[in-house]
Amino acid sequence: MILEFRGGVRPLSRTFCGKKDIEYYKSCSVSCIPASDSASFSVPVGSSVMRGSLIGQTDSTPVYASIAGVFKGILEIEGTRYFTVMNSGEEGEERLFMPESRSLTEMDAQYIIDTARRFAIYDSRSGLPLWRLLEHALGCKRLIVDCTERDPASAIAYRLCIEKARSAVGGAKVLLHCIGALKCVFAAEHYRNAAFAALEECGGDEKLFAFGRLEERYPYNDRTLMDALYLKDLAKGETAIEKGVLIIGIEAAVALYDAMINGFPQLDRYVSVCGSGVLEEKNLCVPRGITVHDLATLCGGLLNGNFLVENSLLCGSKASGALGNATSCLVAVKPKKRQRVACIGCGSCASACPMNLIPSEALSKKTKELALSCVACGACEFVCPSNIPLLELIGCRDYKDKFLPEEPGNLRDSDDDAPEVLL
């Protein structure tokens, strides 16, 4: 059964990225890990650190060096503060913790929350520390592990399902035990047959695990997942946790399990670098804080005139600086000037809106209802044949860096385990 939700847009096409295994890199030229205004460092500036060394703390979460090199302190780059380690050709790893020796039944909720904090696990869907999400989710009756992609060109979640299925299921069991949930749903696009098969093989207990096959429609967010899986509405500002459901990305489940098994904190991130504007599409496991420049270099560079967009062509922004905690996909696109014309009253924007709004109302009046309810997913702009900057009119975001993806003919065809004729 394919589960549907209201609103959203269907992708133009997919790419071949899903056929590519994850490539692993443990080094880069510089690591820039995001730091809050209250962040502090625990090693002297200029000192040598190993991969895995504790270098500071941000928002009560420890920060570990993801590469070996020289610690340069907390630097501000392009308006963002980073814990910065320069690669100086040094090597070495430091393991500060022993692999987990307790059985799951010996762990209580607080122990798991402390473990997620100690290992600095982040949820790439929200960009938040996992331990903070768990604190708020205690008592939730359902867990959703989101295995969907941020953009149809991406395939990193799909590859994690296949290559790290055991870790994903193991992490889900830990999370279920922590919050006291009764069941976990792995949610992915309906055609990801190999992903569902791999997860089902590792998590065969039907009492604990279910699999949600979602229609291929973007964006996938808390609102659309709750609609598809539980037929529950979320207002803007309302969280799934308030409805008794914790939603996390598959990367967080994998990272938590692997950290507990290996004794290393989350030193790496998983990311797809994809789209027709990059020389070679890749699914990567790279050090936390790798720069966007280094990511592009690993993929052979960008074609002339292209740049990278974070997460989604629907609502993403131009990528700069370093890979953020909430970024799992970089799409290479070529900007195009949009020729705006008058609204033709087709109603496409209303059909695409997952919040049941009528975005075109912003043309005639500024309504508080629109601004308060809009989640800035970008679906309305994507389908608008008149190229009207609806989000700018609604007041959801600055429009200065708006871009348009390539024409459908410039995208590549299907990528993974889907049948010859797409469902």
| Residues near 245 by beta carbon (within 8 Å), at least 6 away in sequence | 140, 141, 142, 143, 144, 226, 230
Which of 67-71, 100-104, 300-304, 402-406 has the least mean pLDDT?
A: 402-406
- The mean predicted confidence, pLDDT, of the chain is 89
> In this predicted structure, what is the pLDDT of residue 394?
86
Read off the pLDDT band of 68 (50, 70, 90).
Answer: very high
Residue that wins the pLDDT comparison between 356 and 253: 253
Helix, coil or strand: residue 23? strand
Backbone angles phi, psi at 394, to 5 degrees: -70, -30
* Cα 225 to Cα 186: distance, rounded to the nearest angstrom: 11
Alpha-carbon dihedral sign for residues 256, 94, 267, 21:
negative
Q: CB–CB of 237/257 below 8 Å? A: no
Neighbours of 243 (CB within 10 A): 16
* Cα 374 to Cα 354: distance, rounded to the nearest angstrom: 9
Helix, coil or strand: residue 122? strand
> In this predicted structure, what is the pLDDT of residue 12?
64
What's the CA dihedral at 223, 175, 155, 376 to 10 degrees? Answer: 20
**The residue type at 170:** G
Q: Over 50: is that where the pLDDT of 376 sits?
A: yes
Residue range 173-200: mean pLDDT, rounded: 96
> In this predicted structure, what is the pLDDT of residue 305?
86
Q: Over 50: is that where the pLDDT of 418 sits?
A: no
> In this predicted structure, what is the pLDDT of residue 8?
87
For tokens 């295994």, name the residue.
Answer: 21
| Structural domains in the chain, sorted by start | 1-25+98-334 (3.40.50.11540), 337-414 (no CATH)
Q: CB–CB of 135/149 below 8 Å? A: no
Residue range 200-227: mean pLDDT, rounded: 91
* Cα 126 to Cα 4: distance, rounded to the nearest angstrom: 23
Percent of the chain predicted with pLDDT > 90: 67
Neighbours of 97 (CB within 10 A): 15
Helix%, strand%, coil% for the chain, nearest 5: 30, 20, 50
Helix, coil or strand: residue 406? coil
What is the arrangement of strands in the sheet containing 61-64, beginning at the earlier edge strand? 40-41, 54-58, 61-64
* Cα 39 to Cα 84: distance, rounded to the nearest angstrom: 13
Q: CB–CB of 239/140 below 8 Å? A: no
Residue range 275-287: mean pLDDT, rounded: 94
> In this predicted structure, what is the pLDDT of residue 325?
95
In this structure, the chain runs to a length of: 423
